[in-house]
Structure 1
């Protein structure tokens, strides 16, 4: 795949002091536990917060490319989304949600002083870089003319028991979130067909998949690809069955549309031939 935004790392700024969002969050005592700076650039905040006794590591796809494998109590993501294309933004949101502990918090700082959106020639590096305005559907905890800071928690944690949002959220049990974007979330099925069976659910409560907007449908399938990658890494299945039940005649029983992604393993059924055609058993083999 061709990288359409290859110079986003050039927007990292060399500093001698803590970034503005880091100072605000540190003063508010919101940087706690095991901490990740996601998109840390050259890593100055990581270095300075370590000197202050914070248990922190950094990740940046260019400067510190080793991807974290643990979960974190606090994740910082400062001025990253503003320099990424929409599909890159979605990838960051999914990665941050996946790396956050169930009761953890992430903080996204975005610029509010961008006057020109799109590609431009960087004044220092003389390379084409991208910038855009970002608004997130999360809780805003700070805002001035230059910067806004959003506080993010897992959708399934924030909305536990809220059956009005989704029947999947009813009850006191918190669903273990896999990944989340602004419009879609994913978690493990409560009654799995196989190990790793997961669901992808749009946040807007719609019963029929075909009533989703094209943008919402696209967001769902972007997440299918991400969840497939997570399940492959964790469970190493030999295949996948992916499907949607639309209306009662097709077997739908939960009236919030969702996509099943079911890992498949050698020997999990006597004869897998025909795959999804097995929804009508006597039509499976042909």
Structure 2
């Protein structure tokens, strides 16, 4: 997917003099708790108005306020952003927001429900190709009318647990969630091989990677890329191994598919040559 094809997504931002409709809804319901971030804030009008009303709020927008936040937030707003993004871009936004949300925090996504045309079109004012699409999220819907729907997102491990003994279907509330998307989440390995050893886990409970459909596999690989960035930033490793154990004979001990991202460091083993070939130790060498 060529993301550069959607280079004019920011042209959908609108100049306003008043609070946006979804901002009014979440404010009237008392949902603006603690430190607030408006992610994809456009020209920043909601940030300006809410700040004047005493709400501790910051704004981030890739195009208009491009300084990426350095801290985590209790409440994150993301209004009418996903509708103008390609699917891979949408997943990236979900992962970025999940990484900026405190463990007990909540994010609110507003999406349009009045779109009659999906795909690229020529923007009426700017005469540039802009993209729009309908979006349905796998989160709790807290408001819907003919033009707007608002979803509430909480970290996967903070939700009510399912009736299962699988540790990946029921990650503990105290487990640090690295990033999350609609289909996938990632955590640090409970028994790490090296500092930063991470797991990328689809929410769908199946044993093997090849039981996932294409979209679920793609979601895992997109998250693998994002988690690599997070681990690189935190731990600064000098290399990585990526692996999936599929089946008992391949060493799988938890029958819920997961991808291992293992950072590597100078001197962590005597001879690193051969890498993943070491799963069969006597055949690790090339001679």
TM-score normalized by the length of structure 1:
0.97
Q: Name the residue aligned to 2:250.
A: 250
TM-score normalized by the length of structure 2:
0.96
- Residues 19, 100 of structure 1: alpha-carbon distance in 2 compared, 3 angstrom cutoff: same
Q: Name the residue aligned to 2:187.
A: 187
* CA contact 1:90–1:181 (8 Å) conserved in 2: yes
1:233-255 deviations in whole A, cap 9, x for unaligned? 11100000100000000000000
1:34-61 deviations in whole A, cap 9, x for unaligned? 1110000010001001001111111100
Q: In structure 2, how many angstroms separate the alpha carbons of the residues matched to 1:129 and 1:173?
A: 40
Q: Name the residue aligned to 1:113.
A: 114
Q: Match of 1:191, SS?
A: coil
* CA contact 2:9–2:131 (8 Å) conserved in 1: yes
* CA contact 1:139–1:152 (8 Å) conserved in 2: yes
Deviation at 1:101, TM superposition (A): 0.5
* CA contact 2:186–2:201 (8 Å) conserved in 1: yes
Deviation at 1:127, TM superposition (A): 1.2
Q: In structure 2, how many angstroms separate the alpha carbons of the residues matched to 1:172 and 1:89?
A: 27
Which aligned segments of 4 or more residues in structure 1 are displaced greater than 6 angstroms?
none
* CA contact 2:143–2:149 (8 Å) conserved in 1: yes
Structure 1 portions without partners, runs of 5+? none
* CA contact 1:36–1:75 (8 Å) conserved in 2: yes
Deviation at 1:123, TM superposition (A): 1.2
Q: In structure 2, how many angstroms separate the alpha carbons of the residues matched to 1:165 and 1:18?
A: 46
Q: How does 1:153-232 map to 2 (within 5 A)?
A: 153-159=154-160, 161-162=161-162, 164=164, 166-170=166-170, 172-232=172-232
* CA contact 2:103–2:158 (8 Å) conserved in 1: yes
Q: In structure 2, how many angstroms separate the alpha carbons of the residues matched to 1:166 and 1:80?
A: 34
- Residues 177, 82 of structure 1: alpha-carbon distance in 2 compared, 3 angstrom cutoff: same
* CA contact 2:36–2:55 (8 Å) conserved in 1: yes
* CA contact 2:196–2:262 (8 Å) conserved in 1: yes
Deviation at 1:163, TM superposition (A): 5.5
- Residues 197, 171 of structure 1: alpha-carbon distance in 2 compared, 3 angstrom cutoff: closer
Deviation at 1:285, TM superposition (A): 1.4
Q: In structure 2, how many angstroms separate the alpha carbons of the residues matched to 1:110 and 1:135?
A: 8
Q: Name the residue aligned to 1:8.
A: 9
Q: In structure 1, how many angstroms separate the alpha carbons of the residues matched to 2:99 and 2:73?
A: 10
* CA contact 2:188–2:199 (8 Å) conserved in 1: yes
Q: Match of 1:53, SS?
A: coil
* CA contact 2:196–2:235 (8 Å) conserved in 1: yes
Q: Name the residue aligned to 1:31.
A: 32
Q: Name the residue aligned to 1:72.
A: 73
Q: Match of 2:6, SS?
A: coil
Q: In structure 1, how many angstroms separate the alpha carbons of the residues matched to 2:275 and 2:176?
A: 28
Deviation at 1:166, TM superposition (A): 3.9
* CA contact 1:35–1:72 (8 Å) conserved in 2: yes
Q: In structure 1, how many angstroms separate the alpha carbons of the residues matched to 2:37 and 2:207?
A: 37
Q: Name the residue aligned to 1:19.
A: 20
RMSD over aligned CA atoms reads 1.3
* CA contact 1:244–1:260 (8 Å) conserved in 2: yes
